[in-house]
Structure 1
Amino acid sequence: MEKQLFDVTIIGGGPAGLNAALVLGRARKKVALIDDSRHRNAVTKAVHGFLTRDGISPIEFRRIAKEEISAYPSVSFVPDTAVSITGSDGHFQVETGQGEAFISKKVLFTVGMKDQPLSIPGLAEVYGKSAFVCPYCDGWELRDQQLVIINKGPELMHFAPVISGWTNRFIICTNGPDELTDAHREELKQHHVPLYDSPIRQIDSNDGIVQQVVLEDGTIIPCRGIFFKPDLVTGSDLPQRIGCEMTEWGAVVIDEFGKTSIPGVYGAGDAASRMHQAIAAASTGAFAAAVINNELNAEAWGNNR
């Protein structure tokens, strides 16, 4: 197996990984960006809230990013999946599914998050077309529309006031026990928000546009859009497998500099945050790249005395 030498291996090619590659490429660092092109936002039509790129398709966003990064020849794109990491700070070995091996001084995880299978019949057909998870990304397109919110418990009581900035025409389906307190139910009642706890039988749609939500008790709720709470896991189990500390919700624990619990290993983007927006992921990727570059330069400076 031929081993290729790099300063940094980036695992994951979303906004965080791409922005990190851009910063490191401009810093003259040799970078391998490993990405299998199985992106969570592949179901969505547009990226929103990203200055100068508002409304761009995810595919076009990545095409432009790679074109810009290609101006820096020290960055290599590897269309593959990272399957194992061994070694330690200064000498990591990353192996891929196709049998390539990359030796690098540092590793940056930008693996994002991925959805667990959607258990509600009909939800997969509307996801990314008229059913979404983030109102900051897609609330404008559904402004003033009749919506169904699929959520429950304390997170619902955070989400309800947030979505009210886009529309006051929404109904809550908890798809089972609501996990709310009496005070929470009274609060929703005071704001004239209908609440249904019957399980959801199915979501009916036409060409990806939701028409109605049908509950097990026979209730039919017409609507034009849905926001739901996804069940997420990290886009790769490699961080956990190599011993990175993880949060209770499954994200990689990082400090204010993007460092994980393992020296020489960093994290950025959705896999290390609850700020699941493209522009937030890109910014954390850029910052982690700068920290990595500074650390590499300091190590080289010390070794050259």
Structure 2
Amino acid sequence: MEKQLFDVAIIGGGPAGLNAALVLGRARKKVAVIDEGRPRNAVTREAHGFLTRDGISPSEFRRIAKEEISAYPSVSFIAETAVSIAGTDGQFQIKTAQGQTFASKKVLFAVGMKDRPLNIPGLAEVYGKSAFVCPYCDGWELRDQPLVIITKGAELMHFAPLISGWTNRFSVCTNGPDELTDAEREELQRNQVPLFDSPIRHIDSSDGIVRQVMLEDGTIVPCTGIFFKPDLVTGSDLPQTIGCEITEWGAIVVDEFGKTNIPGVYSAGDAASRMHQAIAAASMGAFAAAVINNELNTEAWGRKG
């Protein structure tokens, strides 16, 4: 089968990949958006904090985005999973799980992050319904409610003051040793934050709404919502497979222009940032697309000389 030739292959169709496709489509570039349609935020009912789209469902966000992008015929959507990438800048070859092959001058990884299996019994049943990871996304809906925060150590000492802007009725379950200093424990105590370090036995819920967190030592912590720190990995192994540098927390290393250490390969969105919000991902995607477009135009201009 003859390879289809594109200017840019975008791996991933979330806010970063879609906004990149929009910018590149308007710049008259031939673009392939390769996405399997299994976004991490599919577990959530609503996405928040995106101007003009506050409260929209993730699936509706994507539907509207694709409808808008369809005005630009040079953008193609391929409902597939990219499984391998070979080649170099200007001539990458991409293969998919179903055996399709594409050639592309540039590659943009917008693969997001994905959760490792949730190892707390009962957490999967409430994730995206009454248990969340980002208070900027879901704190308003849980304002002034009794919450449980599941995290520990330095992350806890960052998160506790943050969540206090939405509610002062929260307890902390560290699910094992709290990894805190005596001074940090005293700080939580001064702010009247109950701290429990017994392992979590089970999260009790009804129809996705948490009722209480049950600990191994018999303690029961009532609550109507949870915030927890997820264990994340990059949404695809391909960036690391082709040699992209990866941070200690699993993100793709990029410079201020979205460039990775591999010439012709870019990344944007959650996969390349710790600021995991849809609007931030979209912004990164738009900016990376502009940089890619400029690089393509400059290369074509130089060949005419």
Query: Equivalents in 2 of 1:9, 1:214: separation in Å?
Result: 47
- 2:170 aligned with 1:170, yes or no? yes
SS in 2 for 1:294: helix
Alpha-carbon deviations, 1:24-66, whole Å to 9, x = none? 0000000000000111001100110000000000000000000
Contact 1:145/1:169 (<8 A) preserved: yes
Instruction: Quote the residue 1:300 is aligned against.
Output: 300
Instruction: State the distance in 2 between where 1:182 and 1:34 align.
Output: 50
**Counterpart-to-counterpart distance in 2, 1:3 and 1:89:** 17
Q: TM-score, normalised to structure 1's length?
A: 1.00
Structure 1 distance, partners of 2:10, 2:201, is 42
Is 1:234–1:250's contact at 8 Å kept on the other side of the alignment?
Answer: yes
> The residue matched to 1:162 in structure 2 has which SS?
helix
* Structure 2 equivalent of residue 62 of structure 1: 62
Aligned to 1:204: 204
Return the alpha-carbon distance in structure 1 between the equivalents of residues 231 and 4 of structure 2: 37
Q: Please give the alpha-carbon distance, in whole angstroms, between the structure 2 residues aligned to 1:212 and 1:194.
A: 15
Equivalent position of 2:134 in the other structure: 134
**TM-score under structure 2 length normalisation:** 1.00
How far residue 228 of structure 1 moved from its aligned partner, in angstroms, is 0.2
Instruction: Kindly indicate whether the alpha-carbon contact (under 8 Å) linking 1:2 and 1:100 is maintained by their aligned counterparts in 2.
Output: no
Give, in whole Å, the separation in 1 of the partners of 2:101 and 2:180. 50
SS in 1 for 2:257: coil
Q: Which amino acid aligns with 2:33?
A: L
Structure 2 equivalent of residue 53 of structure 1: 53
Q: Distance in 1 between matches of 2:39 and 2:16?
A: 12
Q: Which amino acid aligns with 2:225?
A: G
User: For structure 2, which runs of at least 5 residues remain unmatched after alignment?
Assistant: none
Equivalent position of 2:281 in the other structure: 281
The answer as to whether partners of 1:47 and 1:55 remain within 8 angstroms in 2 is: yes
Task: Quote the residue 2:152 is aligned against.
Answer: 152
Which SS does the other structure have where 1:83 is aligned?
A: strand
Deviations 1:201-247 (A, max 9, x none): 00000100000000000001110000000000000000000000000
Letter in 2 for 1:144: D
Equivalent pair of 1:16/1:286 in contact (CA under 8 Å): yes
Aligned to 1:26: 26
For residues 115 and 245 of structure 2, what CA distance do their matches in structure 1 show?
A: 21
After the TM superposition, which residues 224-235 of structure 1 pair with which residues of structure 2 at under 5 Å, given as runs? Answer: 224-235=224-235
3-state SS of 1:10 partner:
strand
* 3-state SS in 2 of match to 1:252: coil
Give the Cα–Cα distance (whole angstroms) in 2 for the partners of residues 146 and 122 of structure 1. Answer: 18
Query: CA RMSD, aligned part only?
Result: 0.4
The one-letter amino acid paired with 2:251 is: A
Please give the alpha-carbon distance, in whole angstroms, between the structure 1 residues aligned to 2:6 and 2:59: 27
Look up the SS of the partner of 1:93 in the other structure.
strand
Q: Give SS of 1:21's match.
A: helix
Q: In structure 2, give the amino acid aligned to 1:66.
A: K
Residue type of the alignment partner of 2:135: P
Supply the AA of the counterpart residue of 2:36.
D
* Partner AA of 1:198 in structure 2: S
Q: Deviations over 1:138-163 (max 9, x none)?
A: 00000000000000000110000000
Which amino acid letter does the alignment assign opposite residue 111 of structure 2?
V
The residue number in structure 2 matching 1:17 is 17
Q: Say whether the 8 Å CA contact 1:8–1:106 is kept in structure 2.
A: yes
Q: Secondary structure at the match of 1:292?
A: helix
Q: Distance in 2 between matches of 1:259 and 1:100?
A: 26
Paired residues for 1:67-146 under 5 Å: 67-146=67-146
Identity of matched residues, %: 83
Does structure 2 conserve the Cα–Cα contact (< 8 Å) formed by 1:9 and 1:32? yes
Counterparts of 1:154 and 1:195, CA distance in 2: 14
Question: Which whole-Å CA distance do the structure 1 matches of 2:111 and 2:149 have between them?
Answer: 28
1:2 Cα deviation after fit: 2.3
Aligned to 1:268: 268
What residue ranges of structure 1 are gaps of 5+ in the alignment? none
Partner deviation per Cα, 1:153-186 (whole Å, 9 max, x = no partner): 0011000000000000000000000001111101
Which runs of at least 4 in structure 1 moved beyond 2 Å after TM superposition?
Answer: none
